[in-house]
Amino acid sequence: MSKKVLMKGNEAFAEAAIRGGCRYYFGYPITPQNEIPEYMSRELPKRDGYFIQAESELAAVYMAYGAGAAGGKVFITSSSPGIALMQEGFSFMCSAEVPTVALTVSRCGPGIGGIQPGQADYFQATRGGGNGDYKVPVFAPSNLQEGVDLVYESMDLTDKWRNPVFIFADGLLGQMMEPVVLPEQQKFVEPHEIRALKPWALTGYGDDDTKRNTIISLRIQPEDLEKHVEKIFKKYEQMEKELVRVETTGIEDADVVIVAFGTMARITKEAVEILAEQGIKTGLIRPISLWPFPYQAFDKITSKTKVVISAELSMGQMIQDVKLGVNGRFPVRLLSRTGGVVPASLEIAERTKKILEEMGG
């Protein structure tokens, strides 16, 4: 087994991407993810990779589009307002079926907001701000090892599906340190190897112009566009079957079930123990894939449960998916802090108790 190393979240994510085969990174400074472009600028050139400090997040996302279209393995990162600027690119890449792994180290909004951890970009990540019918798989780690593993795996998933894959970390995960086991280094792909691995990629067709490739997004005939959208939605249907990830604990006989992801799930796990000491059985549903959302996990909640709580670092965004999962079987309540305020486990436990009392429990 590989040895554990103590790393800062942002640097661990960057290293995981390189080890997953990322040879091309494009970034623009924004807090709290700056250690990633810094790490990439230092590490990639000496490991035969490429780093460009883009002039904006908009340029960065289209550098990713270019390198991805050319068959390169690409990683881009930003934080909330920067991701807002990249949204057009995610729509474009879904349309043109170009792979890229993108990671947000999310902070607080709206507007410039603040630089403390937040989850108010749940809609941004899962609903997207780009135009048109498209979807992007979103994975949300709640510790650094999980983040490392998800970034690493996503470098291949994005190629498999020819669709961007998104990792939702937050400022707390980006800035904290934890021991991680780093995965094996994947060999970087050389330019002359790309055509064989990705026959669709832009490489130059060589001597045979019947092998000419084009990558397009414009489909001006309505019937053509409809056909194409239906084609990419076939992929999304398949992703909904294959990419759902969730951790559930203690749901079956729970008095209350809390749904939380990322940093909020980390803290909620402690709250569950505090509540257990007080005789309150608390189940936890931790979505790891935010899209596709693990709606099926809610089917396991039994009639013993009085209320389902969506615990979020936002004014309540995931709660919409929680309600879809609950499908009217139980009351749903929000437990929220926002603006960068991260509640302690004791606060979550006390507020959960209060909600239970209000439900007559």
Partner 1 sequence: MNPVYTLTKGMLPVETIYCPGCTHGISHRIIMEVLEEVDMLGKTIGCGPIGCSVLAHRYMNVDMLECPHGRAPAVASAIKRVHPDNFVFTYQGDGDLASIGTAEIIHAAARGEKITTFFINNAIYGMTGGQMAPTTLIGQKSTTSQSGRTVEQAGAPMRICELIANLDGAVYVERVALNTAGNISKAKRAVRRAYDIQEKRLGFSLIEFVSSCPTHWGKSPVESMQHLKEKMLPYYPLGVYKEPEGGEV
Residues that bind partner 1 (CB under 8 A): 24, 26, 50, 52, 54-56, 58-60, 62-67, 69-72, 74, 88-89, 92, 96, 191, 194, 202-209, 212-218
128 Cβ neighbours under 8 A, 6+ residues apart: 87, 90, 91, 134, 135, 136
Q: Are 42 and 53 in contact (CB under 8 A)?
A: no
Q: Angle at CA 259, nearest 5°, toward 258 and 263?
A: 105
Residue 88 CB, nearest approach to partner 1 (Å): 7
Q: Which of 280, 302, 293 is nearest to 236 (CA)?
A: 293
Residue 222 CB, nearest approach to partner 1 (Å): 17
Nearer to partner 1, 69 or 239 (CB): 69
Nearer to partner 1, 54 or 290 (CB): 54
Nearer to partner 1, 96 or 115 (CB): 96
CA 32, CA 336: separation in Å to the nearest integer? 22
Give the amino acid at 277: E
Residue 140 CB, nearest approach to partner 1 (Å): 27
Q: CB-hemisphere CA count at 13 Å for 74?
A: 28
Residue 39 CB, nearest approach to partner 1 (Å): 18
Nearer to partner 1, 189 or 274 (CB): 189
CA 53, CA 44: separation in Å to the nearest integer? 12
Q: Which of 340, 345, 333, 338 is nearest to 315 (CA)?
A: 338
Nearer to partner 1, 71 or 287 (CB): 71
CA 140, CA 166: separation in Å to the nearest integer? 9
DSSP letters for 178-189:
EEEEPPPPPPPP
Residue 16 CB, nearest approach to partner 1 (Å): 21
Residue 139 CB, nearest approach to partner 1 (Å): 24
Nearer to partner 1, 173 or 202 (CB): 202
Residue 239 CB, nearest approach to partner 1 (Å): 24
241 Cβ neighbours under 8 A, 6+ residues apart: none
Residues facing 181 on adjacent strands:
4
Nearer to partner 1, 74 or 239 (CB): 74
CA 61, CA 49: separation in Å to the nearest integer? 18
